[in-house]
Amino acid sequence: MRVASVGHLVFAIGILALGIIGLRNGNFAPVWDPVPQGIPARMVLVYLCAIICLACGTGLLWRRTAALSTRVLLTTLFLWLVLFRLPSIVLTPNLGTFFGGCDVAVTMAAAWVLYTWFATEWDRQKLGFISGAKGLRIARALYGLAMIFYGSAHFMDLPDTVSLVPHWLPWHVFWAYFFGCAFIAAGVGILINVFARLAAALSTLEIGMFTLLVWVPIVTAAGSKSNFQWSETILSCVLTAAAWLVADSYRTAPWFAIGKR
């Protein structure tokens, strides 16, 4: 096995789990969904995405296949963002389409970080622009933009945000505003490279807290759980691990560094 960090391990397992969900439900896992119903060969695409997740999630854990797996996963997520997410955002701009695009962007950023880590000599020679420092900067920028939207969504849909705050916490509206501002600050910090390592770490903590405080209690509570609840819980774990990987990409940088863009 070749595990670069705990975030890498959790991310690989999460991608593998998304593949299992796709095969089990016969539908797109949440990172791929929604996809228009009328698209040609839709079911073929469903199972292709599931197989890619299974293969890449497994391949990320093995030394000989890590580079190829990151290359395939990054390419697939890039095509998905360009062919499905961006057109949806342009044609029907709403919270749902923006969330879908940001989920893909965060997952893609993590895959890109792994690609720069595991790039082979062939990658460095043929694809040096995306496998080196410039590629890493683009991956971080993608992540930063997604954080800004996640934060903005707290204000654009305040009632739904407040409803997700655990009932045992006081001041629900305060926490909705606080975490919205924190996400935006983290995204801006990453984009302008000011306290970027701290910003990435704190945004990872935020996403992880959302997973632990919102989705984990739902799926561990008594009673049957819907496919949606399980799928969203796994997606939230994948996003947490993806954020962890982006934070890991700063591990050699000072916590309070102020650098060039």
Q: How many distinct structural domains can be found in the chain? A: 1
Give the single-character DSSP code of 85. I
CA dist., res. 113 & res. 120, Å (int): 14
Three-class SS state of 157: coil
Q: pLDDT digits over 168-208, tens only?
A: 888 889 999 999 999 999 999 999 999 999 999 999 999 99
Residue 201 lies in a domain: yes
Question: What pLDDT is attached to residue 214?
Answer: 86
CB 112, CB 63: distance < 8 Å = no
Instruction: Report the pLDDT value the prediction gives residue 209, as an integer from 0 to 100.
Output: 92
pLDDT at 178: 93
CB 176 within 8 A of CB 186: no
Q: Is residue 259 part of a domain?
A: no
* 3-class secondary structure, 258: strand
Domain presence at residue 128: yes
All residue ranges of the chain with pLDDT < 70 are 1-2, 222-224, 260-261
For residue 19, the model assigns a pLDDT of: 94
Q: Is residue 1 part of a domain?
A: no
Return the number of other C-beta atoms located less than 10 Å from residue 146's C-beta: 29
Q: Which pLDDT score, from 0 to 100, does residue 224 have? A: 66
Q: What pLDDT was estimated at residue 6?
A: 87
Question: Is position 260 within any domain?
Answer: no
Q: Evaluate whether residue 104 is within a structural domain.
A: yes
Residue 44 forms part of a structural domain: yes
Residue 238 is part of which domain span? 6-248
Q: Which helix (H) or strand (E) holds 152?
A: helix 133-156
257 assigned to some structural domain: no
